[in-house]
Amino acid sequence: MITRKEVGTRMSKIVVHNGTVYLSGQVGGEGSVTAQTETCLARIDALLAEVGTDNRHILQAIIWLSDMADFAEMNAVWDAWVPADHAPARACGEARLARDTLKVEIIVTAALP
């Protein structure tokens, strides 16, 4: 069974299938890389909580930065957010994001506890 939450015209923010949670890419809006990363992670926390899981159950994260020069700044926020001994498989790359003001987009796959 597939469960979709916060369904829009083009995407669902959350899809759950066979105990796995797939989140759409979360962006941070305006501000610095630090501020945008904090916003992304807060949104991820809220979406995961909506289906009964959390960042200790993240299996994989894909992070897009508009500029790889921001890698260390993003990692400072990420490292403080990921619980010790719960680091997921992760990839990070540079990409042109949907709006020029966006600096970070994070896509997460997690397990249900």
- Place domain 2-111 in its CATH homologous superfamily: RutC-like (3.30.1330.40)
Pairing of strands 20-23, 89-94: unpaired
Looking at residue 34, its pLDDT comes to 98
Q: Which pTM value belongs to this model?
A: 0.96
Q: pLDDT tens digit string along 8-18?
A: 999 999 999 99
Looking at residue 41, its pLDDT comes to 98
Q: pLDDT tens digit string along 39-87?
A: 999 999 999 999 999 999 999 999 999 999 999 999 999 999 999 999 9
Looking at residue 55, its pLDDT comes to 98
Counted residue by residue, the chain has a size of 113
Q: Quick one: which of 26, 23, 17, 39 has its CA closest to 109? A: 23
- Residue ranges covered by each domain of the chain: 2-111
Phi, psi of 44 (to 5 degrees): -65, -45
Name the pLDDT band for 98 (thresholds 50, 70, 90). very high
CA distances to 12, 33, 39, 43, 89 from 8, rounded to whole Å, are: 6, 27, 21, 17, 28
Phi, psi of 27 (to 5 degrees): -120, 165
Q: Quick one: which of 31, 23, 95 has its CA closest to 59? A: 23
Looking at residue 29, its pLDDT comes to 87
